[in-house]
């Protein structure tokens, strides 16, 4: 895929869900254009969730790790547990090659322990789980799931606003090529 240009072929290469495996549907989404830009993702005639999944899947693996951390950090205040903050801090160091796999594993273990400790509060437990998940891995589906949960548990009234921030953030990361 040429940087910044998304074609039918590049979307099909991502192995999208069965709703988008028909070239005719993708052609319709692209409105007859041969390609769209990253910014055009936001204008597609599909749900915000599907736009978000597409944008996240287009991020590089490193970007997905960073993106998952960014999304988790937006809801960490719900959990109020320093172990989650530490897991994200260590994950960011790991992404930059400044923390070992073992350090990341320990920080992830501690964040998961925080999840078990606050399990009684559903919103807090999902915020903590997102932090632990972001620390543990961030392949496209995990990054997308963390983003979805972060939006959901930011507060139901803020769900759409949070999802829109996540979409805008993913598109910004794509455009910058971080």
What's the pLDDT tens digit per position in 84-103?
Answer: 888 889 999 999 999 999 99
**Least trusted range by pLDDT, from 91-105, 112-126, 154-168:** 112-126
What's the pLDDT tens digit per position in 133-151?
Answer: 666 655 455 555 655 666 6
Against a cut of 0.85, is the pTM above it? no
What's the pLDDT tens digit per position in 24-61?
Answer: 556 667 777 888 899 999 988 888 888 888 899 999 99
Average pLDDT of the residues in 72-94 = 84
Q: Where are the beta strands (DSSP E) in 28-124?
A: 35-37
Q: Token match 């109020």: residue?
A: 80
């Amino acid at each position: 895929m040429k940087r910044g240009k998304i074609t039918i072929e590049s979307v099909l290469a991502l192995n999208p869900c069965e709703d988008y495996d028909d070239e005719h549907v993708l052609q319709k989404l692209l409105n007859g254009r041969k390609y769209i830009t990253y910014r055009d993702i936001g204008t597609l005639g599909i749900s915000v969730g599907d736009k978000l999944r597409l944008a996240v899947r287009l991020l590089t693996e490193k970007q997905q790790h960073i993106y998952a951390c960014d999304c988790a950090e937006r809801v960490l205040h719900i959990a109020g547990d320093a172990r989650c903050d530490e897991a994200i801090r260590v994950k960011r160091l790991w992404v930059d090659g400044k923390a070992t796999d073992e350090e990341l594993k320990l920080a992830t273990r501690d964040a998961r322990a925080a999840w078990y400790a606050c399990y009684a509060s559903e919103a807090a437990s999902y915020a903590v789980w997102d932090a632990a998940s972001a620390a543990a891995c961030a392949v496209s589906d995990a990054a997308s799931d963390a983003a979805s949960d972060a939006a959901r548990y930011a507060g139901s009234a803020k769900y759409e606003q949070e999802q829109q921030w996540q979409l805008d953030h993913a598109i910004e990361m794509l455009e910058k090529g971080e």
